[in-house]
Structure 1
Amino acid sequence: MDKVILHCDLNNFYASVEQLSHPELDGLPIAVCGDPEARHGIVLAKNMKAKAAGVATGEPIWAAKRKCPGIVFLPPHYDEYVRISKQVFSIYTEFTDRVESFGLDECWLDVTESTSLLGSGKEIADRIRETVKTRTGLTISVGVSFTKVLAKLGSDLKKPDATVLLPRESYMDTIGDMPPSSLIMIGRSAAAKLEALGIRTIRRLAEADRGMLRSRFGVIGEKMSDAARGEGDDEVAFYYAVRVPKSVSHGTTTPRDMTSDEDARAVVYALSELVAARLRRHDLVAGGVALTLRRADLTTASKQCLLPADTCSASDIAEGALGLLSSMHSFPAPLRALSVAATRLSESSVRQMSLFDDGVSREEVLEKCVDEIRGKYGFNALRRGVLIGDKLTEGLHGDDGFLPFKR
């Protein structure tokens, strides 16, 4: 028997939350964007009015203004987005315990076991939509299908506030002529390669020889075939299951370009402190580190490495990241942005230690004490010497949990 999988997508989430907070702006085009003075001047989200005027997510503020002179720009309020996201996800768990997050505003639900009590997939989807709308004032679009990929595509087909069914017996009638890039796993590069092979529709992808796809794309070729054919065993995770994330990262675009080793060192240490604090907060350790940089010409590069031992120390993470940076970039060529990620995560209770490690290092014990002090008195109660007086990292710790009396 086919599974009944829903994909729920909060419509224009950031912009919709802001609109609830600003009823006086009802009916006006709205865009949520960062601070232009800090060079985060791009559109993060927009409402339907702005979308109808051609405003696109990710474009510069000036371009959005040119397309839509009457647009209202609002700053993001991430704490509020997280709060409302949790409220909505709590609603989802009233219908099933299989709720798998795909960001703050999207998730999959497996309601197969709920249909005997709550009705068909469509009936459940419609009840969820009405419940979310009544309790939060927000709308969602829901795709109902038998795989996660097709459910996700279904939720994209009709917005806002809609339910779309893609059943096994007729899903190809609805999506067969759509381009392969409509499927979540197929990006522009893969789509271009498929087009070079004459595969321009989902139907053609489903008909393509599986062996040929594997020879051209590797394992991902088989996954693309499965997605188009509606095959594969899609598991939706339990909402309350403890899952170790694949990575923990933090990045920033600096107020001015980094032009020296000293600039970059301060930023890397500031980011590493954020990453390490999150690891400790969730009792995780990292076995690797990754660094992503963006140059002034907007080109990017990434590299990763293993650490000598599993750690949640900011110093260990920072030194690993700085080693990567030295192999990737030479100053004074300017850098615009950096991101540090802790990878190969595991629970701290099952950490792998180096031959000469005695378990939890002195550095980690010290940093946990620092966490406690910052949690009570704020981040600036204790600062690393490398960060004192550094203008590039000012304000970077404003949303990391190191706020006075936040706990």
Structure 2
Amino acid sequence: MTPDRWVLHCDCNSFYASVELLEHPELKQKPVAVCGDPKARHGIILAKNEPAKAFGVRTAEPIWQAKRKCPDLVLLPPHRERYRHFSAVINGIYAEYTDLVEPFGIDESWLDITHTWHLFASSPTALADLIRRRVRETTGLTISVGASFNKVFAKLGSDYKKPDAMTVIRPEDVARIVWPLPAGDLLYVGRAAGERLARLGIRTIGQLAAADPGILTDNLGKLGAELSRYAWGEDEAPVHPVGWREPLKSVGNGMTFRQDLTSPEQVRSALGALAEEVAARLRRHGLWAGAVQVTIRDTDLHTITRQKQLPMSTHLARDLAAECLALVQANWDPARRPVRMLTVTALALTDEPFAVQQSLFGDAPAPDPKREKLENALDGIRRRYGAAAIGAGSRVGNQLGLDGLHMEENAPAPGEEDWNEKVKGPL
């Protein structure tokens, strides 16, 4: 192990399911899954425990498919506030041992203990075991820990052995432990990247390390060069300190509707409601959007994504909704292909509005102070009386579920296996 760096990756085991089982200890040995509400058409598996995994139940698969694999599968509803509570408690434990604690979603964190381990234990691995014990005794939950000389291999280590285990990956262990693993186990090798690597005959991390970096770059762009370095353990990305947050790159919100959208009016109402939530969050963070993106999914689960630059930056719902509606109108006919899900995402975020060159004929877009004042007033009403206190009339009493819409922080992209958006780019 490189003596000047020790990085831990701590991963809560079956986090959502484990938190639910604290309330239902009688179910601990039975196959259990946390799932969305089938009646609201969020009928997918969000998390599962170890007995359910043994039946082949997978995250993000439809409930009916999971029940076919495991007829006795016990389904529990999610309780997000509980998950946030336990996440805060567990990260608080981590912070007792180092100020370099970087969450990676709600149930995973990196810890850099390079300069602190000797204050608490006889060795870095002894401290890792101490942290595992503290989490278990304090919360009743278990974590798996990877200990290595960089973030990427520490993450591999926490995935290597589960549950409630620790794996150490030293430089001399890379060829034995890391290289035989599937390429898809490496951080940032998603489904699309994995398929491209497979077409090149690359199926293990060792084959990825042995591949020509130039060929990888030709086929995967910048990511190819990054993955080549990661396979060799050449990752020097820092573990960021407690409280650090990566600047927002996008703000989005999506919804699967209670009934399919089949008319322009329904689409307009849905986009307006989603844009309200996105715009409110932009204003809360003092951000402006320079582009928008719409994701559309039909009843056959066919999905398209379209985006466009805005004529001027904005954080007003009316502007976002109008541009998103134009995208939908240009690319989709809801009467022919009913819409099951929509996502509105604000892109190209800046902390100052960018200027627009004014037209000699006075037809260039211009800021709207009255609209800005109105939407800020709506923000104040919702903060005081709740998100549903005021809104467009089309949101009330409809059959789409818009009256119950609420903002999810960085709502997951369609098909995301986890609720928590995680950074998918290089560290």
What's the TM-score, normalizing by structure 2? 0.87
Q: Taking structure 1 as reference, are residues 204 and 239 closer, same or farther at Cα in structure 2, changes over 3 Å only? A: same
Higher relative contact order (CA 8 A, sep 6+): 2
5 Å matches for 1:61-100?
61-100=63-102
Residue 48 of structure 1: CA displacement? Answer: 1.0
Corresponding residue for 2:239?
Answer: 236
Match for residue 105 of structure 2 among 103, 117, 123 = 103
1:342 correspondence with 2:351? no
Q: Taking structure 1 as reference, are residues 395 and 49 closer, same or farther at Cα in structure 2, changes over 3 Å only? A: farther
Amino acid in structure 2 at the alignment position of 1:115: W
The C-alpha deviation readout for 1:208-237, integer Å capped at 9, x for no partner, is 222232233222111111111001321222
Q: Taking structure 1 as reference, are residues 47 and 371 closer, same or farther at Cα in structure 2, changes over 3 Å only? A: same
Identity between Structure 1 and Structure 2 (%): 46
Match for residue 396 of structure 1 among 404, 411, 421 = 404
Corresponding residue for 2:23?
Answer: 21
Distance in 2 of aligned mates of 1:77 and 1:371: 26
Amino acid in structure 1 at the alignment position of 2:78: P
Amino acid in structure 1 at the alignment position of 2:34: V
Work out whether residues 244 and 346 of structure 1, in 8 Å CA contact, stay in contact via their aligned partners in 2.
Answer: no
The C-alpha deviation readout for 1:224-260, integer Å capped at 9, x for no partner, is 1111100132122222235421111111111111111
Corresponding residue for 2:418?
Answer: none
Gaps in structure 2 of 5+ consecutive residues: 359-364, 410-427
Amino acid in structure 2 at the alignment position of 1:73: L
- In the comparison of the two structures, how many residue pairs are matched? 399
Amino acid in structure 2 at the alignment position of 1:224: L
Residue 358 of structure 1: CA displacement? Answer: 7.9
Q: Taking structure 1 as reference, are residues 140 and 300 closer, same or farther at Cα in structure 2, changes over 3 Å only? A: same
Distance in 1 of aligned mates of 2:309 and 2:100: 34
Distance in 2 of aligned mates of 1:377 and 1:88: 32
1:9 correspondence with 2:17? no
Residue 282 of structure 1: CA displacement? Answer: 2.8
Residue 175 of structure 1: CA displacement? Answer: 2.2
Distance in 2 of aligned mates of 1:400 and 1:158: 32
Match for residue 383 of structure 1 among 373, 386, 391 = 391
Corresponding residue for 1:367?
Answer: 375
Residue 400 of structure 1: CA displacement? Answer: 6.4
Residues 251-260 or 182-191, more deviating: 182-191
Q: Taking structure 1 as reference, are residues 45 and 161 closer, same or farther at Cα in structure 2, changes over 3 Å only? A: same
Match for residue 33 of structure 1 among 29, 32, 35 = 35
Work out whether residues 208 and 231 of structure 2, in 8 Å CA contact, stay in contact via their aligned partners in 1.
Answer: yes
Work out whether residues 397 and 403 of structure 2, in 8 Å CA contact, stay in contact via their aligned partners in 1.
Answer: no
5 Å matches for 1:312-323?
312-323=315-326
Amino acid in structure 2 at the alignment position of 1:336: R
Q: Taking structure 1 as reference, are residues 353 and 89 closer, same or farther at Cα in structure 2, changes over 3 Å only? A: farther
Q: Taking structure 1 as reference, are residues 48 and 346 closer, same or farther at Cα in structure 2, changes over 3 Å only? A: same
Distance in 2 of aligned mates of 1:361 and 1:3: 53
The C-alpha deviation readout for 1:189-223, integer Å capped at 9, x for no partner, is 33333333332321122122222322332221111
Q: Taking structure 1 as reference, are residues 358 and 201 closer, same or farther at Cα in structure 2, changes over 3 Å only? A: closer
Secondary structure in 2 matching 1:345: coil
Q: Taking structure 1 as reference, are residues 19 and 124 closer, same or farther at Cα in structure 2, changes over 3 Å only? A: same
Match for residue 154 of structure 2 among 151, 155, 172 = 151
Amino acid in structure 2 at the alignment position of 1:105: D
What's the TM-score, normalizing by structure 1? 0.91
Work out whether residues 266 and 393 of structure 1, in 8 Å CA contact, stay in contact via their aligned partners in 2.
Answer: no
Work out whether residues 244 and 345 of structure 1, in 8 Å CA contact, stay in contact via their aligned partners in 2.
Answer: no
Corresponding residue for 1:55?
Answer: 57
The C-alpha deviation readout for 1:98-149, integer Å capped at 9, x for no partner, is 2222211112222222234234332222122112112211111111112222
Distance in 2 of aligned mates of 1:243 and 1:190: 24
Amino acid in structure 2 at the alignment position of 1:50: A
Corresponding residue for 2:304?
Answer: 301
Secondary structure in 2 matching 1:284: coil
Distance in 2 of aligned mates of 1:153 and 1:297: 35
Work out whether residues 154 and 169 of structure 2, in 8 Å CA contact, stay in contact via their aligned partners in 1.
Answer: yes
